[in-house]
Amino acid sequence: MAIFAWTKNTKMSENDIENIKYDASSIITLEGLDAVRLRPGMYIGKLGDGTDPADGMYVLLKEVVDNSIDEFAMGNGKVINISIEDKTITVRDFGRGIPFESLEAAVSVLHTGAKFDTKTFKKSVGLNGVGLKAVNALSSDFKAQSFRDGRCISVLFQKGKKVEEKEEPTKEKNGTLIQFTPDQTLFEPFVYNYDFIETLIKNYSYLNIGLTINLNGQPYKSDNGLLDLLNDVIDEEPLYEPIHLSCKDLEIVFTHGNGNGDNIFSFANGQNTILGGFHAAAFKEAIVKTLKNYYKKDFNPADIRQSFVGAISVKIEGPDFEGQTKVKLGTKYMSKDGPSISKYVGDFIGTELDNYLHKHLDVAEIIQKKISDSEKERIANDSTSKKTRARLKKAAIHNKKLRDCKIHYTDKHENASDTMIFITEGDSASGSITKSRNASTQAVFSLMGKPFNCAKASKKELYKEKNIELCLLQSALNIEDDIDNLRYNNVIIATDADVDGMHIRLLLLTFFLKFYPGLVRAGHLYILQTPLFRVRDKKSNYYCYNTEEKDKVAKKIGKNAEITRFKGLGEISPDEFKGFIGKDIRLENVTLTGEDKLNDIIDFYMGKNSDIRLNFIRNNLRSDINNVEEAQ
């Protein structure tokens, strides 16, 4: 979610603009860690409230643990202890310990660290000497301790400012302890989601065989690397035992199931690159090429990747990640003077997978049958839906349901990542969004009524006449053949916050989870958070998203506060839409981790277990929804 804020709809007068002075006093130099506190998004992505695994508090934890993982990777310390008490996190490793004379600088001076070359740390995650400093800057209390050869140095900070340093003898083993509490004056009120943290810790264990991580006393350790990951996350019986291959700097594992699309986990130097990169692309390409060569058939890549579940981990020198949060690998080469990642991965898989299949003919036969079955299903769908597809192709050219934007995600444009499409229902809501949107990067797709429930449907059933709207949506997104062709980076479900709107939201979520889970896993799907109240006085409008915000603003304004309750998107004017679909837009990311059991999720929420689902809703209904209903 976006950072907590009220959107105030005000405009500066010409007199105000004329009175703004730009002189030497306007130039500001930020010292120490002040820049991090002023612009935290540049360093950790976003702050958040703990409901998204990409929220800042988890990034802070990861930055600390990454340093301990790098120590283990260099052969120092086989145990990492992590404890969480209330909002405070403590991480203790048993590596070499940060050198005493550099301890303060290592946690407080930006771009200070031992990872700018490959001598002290090889193939590490940390690169720029920023991570630990960001943790310090964004914590209300931060403590760093280094234990080396019977001595201990401790440095304490508050909001990035040093408050104490001390040295004392110790009997503790060598290593480093970092303790921090995210600053609640910066973060939204948040609660740690232990499922997100457990997934993070499990991934560390899968990627570091021999390492034990204790989370609040619970040990996590892997003996089989990515094979353990795949066995933990696959939500159905695989068609064959996962194929697990590895060498010094590369490990892969994969199998096939019976679901839709593919599900690939990628890691580089221990970092979970959820948006992939050159290593993930090389993995997919190498699997397709090797299987084509082995079977001597020109299979369609989509048939090979249908129901494919796999993982890849590479270790490279000097990796280049996308942003400080490191969600995508941008490096093309294994090292400065080494081969390209594509060649390294391709050569390894081309040789080792071919050898494996020649030794395991039963597995090779199962894979060939799976590919052939996928091919037959695709051809059958193509044949039975030929007329529908022709109609769709014609309709897509003049798709009246789509108000397109000028820039697309597939374009090589600096604003391509800002592209978004709002999926809404009804002419009123789509009309208001269309009039107030940024036509360069924001598109609108309008549904008419409720789409069909595809929880138990096959892809073939999508092409029936009655389901034409989901077909047109699929066409608008350009994902029918490959989600890599997605035209908008952010796919946003924008429905009313009433019973009908929630039902449409669930039906759309079912569509994406059923047929395009990869799109969700890649973080492209969002829910638009729209204000429930408008509070205004004679000068300004404030948009509030829950009763707590509404009450706080009303109290601030006083007796002259005028409160309006929005019951639907169609009631919000285009001018008002501009207040919350611009730079202050609030989006809730729909997250799907590898451990989420897709079939179970869809069956529970959209199946026929009405009584169980009703009890679940009653027991988990949020108090703020109850308050809103009472306020109507």
Ordered strands of the 250-256 beta sheet: 243-247, 250-256, 308-314, 263-268, 271-272
Query: Judging by DSSP bridges, how do beta strands 250-256 and 263-268 pair with one another?
Result: unpaired
Structure tokens at 182: 């995210």
Predicted local distance difference test score (pLDDT) of residue 4: 34
Tell me: pLDDT of 385 over 70: no
Tell me: pLDDT of 2 over 60: no
Tell me: pLDDT of 128 over 50: no
Give me the sign of the Cα torsion angle 182, 188, 191, 196: negative
Tens digit of each residue's pLDDT (9 = 90 or more) over 201-234 = 999 999 999 999 999 999 999 999 999 999 988 8
Full-model pTM: 0.70
Tell me: pLDDT of 389 over 60: no
Tens digit of each residue's pLDDT (9 = 90 or more) over 66-95 = 999 989 988 899 999 999 999 999 999 999
Query: Judging by DSSP bridges, how do beta strands 490-493 and 420-425 pair with one another?
Result: parallel
Q: Is 524 helix (H, G, I), strand (E, B) or coil?
A: coil
Q: Is 325 helix (H, G, I), strand (E, B) or coil?
A: coil
**Cβ contacts of 60 within 8 Å, gap of 6 or more:** 44, 89, 134, 135, 138, 139, 180, 182
For the domain bounded by 42-220, which CATH number is listed?
3.30.565.10
Q: Say how far apart CA 544 and CA 312 lie, in whole Å.
A: 44
Task: Determine the average pLDDT of the residues in 431-436.
Answer: 86
Q: Say how far apart CA 144 and CA 153 lie, in whole Å.
A: 8
- Which of 235 and 38 is assigned the larger pLDDT? 38
pLDDT band of residue 399 (cuts 50, 70, 90) is: low
- Long-range pairs of 215-222 with CB within 8 A, sequence gap ≥ 24: 215/82, 215/83, 215/84, 216/82, 216/83, 216/84, 217/83
Predicted local distance difference test score (pLDDT) of residue 16: 53
Q: Say how far apart CA 257 and CA 64 lie, in whole Å.
A: 36
- Please, what is the end-to-end C-alpha distance for the chain in angstroms? 25
Predicted local distance difference test score (pLDDT) of residue 211: 95
Predicted local distance difference test score (pLDDT) of residue 384: 52
Tell me: pLDDT of 630 over 80: no
Which range has the worst mean pLDDT, 266-270, 283-287, 345-349, 453-457? Answer: 453-457
CB count within 10 Å of CB 275 equals 17
Predicted local distance difference test score (pLDDT) of residue 1: 28
Q: Say how far apart CA 325 and CA 131 lie, in whole Å.
A: 9
Tell me: pLDDT of 135 over 90: yes
Q: What's the chain's Rg over C-alpha atoms?
A: 27
Find out whether 245 and 356 touch, Cβ atoms under 8 Å. yes
Strands (DSSP E) contained in 341-499 are 402-403, 420-425, 442-447, 490-493
pLDDT band of residue 449 (cuts 50, 70, 90) is: confident
Q: Say how far apart CA 576 and CA 501 lie, in whole Å.
A: 20
Tens digit of each residue's pLDDT (9 = 90 or more) over 320-359 = 777 556 778 888 889 888 899 999 999 999 999 999 999 9
Task: Determine the average pLDDT of the residues in 454-471.
Answer: 76
Nearest partner of 277 among 327, 241, 233, judged by Cα: 327
85 phi/psi in degrees, rounded to 5? -130, 115
Tens digit of each residue's pLDDT (9 = 90 or more) over 463-475 = 776 677 888 888 8
Tens digit of each residue's pLDDT (9 = 90 or more) over 580-622 = 787 778 888 887 765 556 776 777 777 666 677 666 666 655 4
Task: Determine the average pLDDT of the residues in 547-554.
Answer: 89
**Cβ contacts of 11 within 8 Å, gap of 6 or more:** none
- Helical (H) or strand (E) element with 104: helix 103-108
Largest CA distance in the chain: 81
180 phi/psi in degrees, rounded to 5? -150, 155
Which range has the worst mean pLDDT, 15-29, 68-82, 128-142, 506-520? Answer: 15-29
- Which of 22 and 300 is assigned the larger pLDDT? 300
At what angle are helices 547-557 and 623-631 packed, to 10 degrees?
50
- Which of 379 and 145 is assigned the larger pLDDT? 145
Task: Determine the average pLDDT of the residues in 229-257.
Answer: 91
- Which of 500 and 435 is assigned the larger pLDDT? 435
Query: Judging by DSSP bridges, how do beta strands 525-528 and 533-536 pair with one another?
Result: unpaired
CATH architecture of 386-530+568-596: 3-Layer(aba) Sandwich (3.40)
Mean pLDDT, the chain, as a whole number?
A: 82
Find out whether 175 and 147 touch, Cβ atoms under 8 Å. yes
Structure tokens at 405: 């934007």
Residue 359: burial class (beta carbons within 10 Å; 0-12, 13-18, 19+) = exposed
- Which of 487 and 428 is assigned the larger pLDDT? 487
Nearest partner of 496 among 584, 433, 417, judged by Cα: 433
Nearest partner of 55 among 4, 11, 123, judged by Cα: 4
Tell me: pLDDT of 129 over 70: no
Tens digit of each residue's pLDDT (9 = 90 or more) over 11-40 = 444 555 556 666 666 555 556 677 788 888
Tens digit of each residue's pLDDT (9 = 90 or more) over 552-587 = 899 989 888 999 887 677 677 777 777 778 777 888
Tens digit of each residue's pLDDT (9 = 90 or more) over 154-167 = 999 999 999 999 99
- Which of 274 and 172 is assigned the larger pLDDT? 172
Amino acid, res. 536:
R
Structure tokens at 625: 């929804």
For the domain bounded by 226-382, which CATH number is listed?
3.30.230.10
**How far is the CA of 326 from the CAs of 8, 273, 275, 425, in angstroms?**
33, 7, 9, 36
Q: Is 479 helix (H, G, I), strand (E, B) or coil?
A: coil
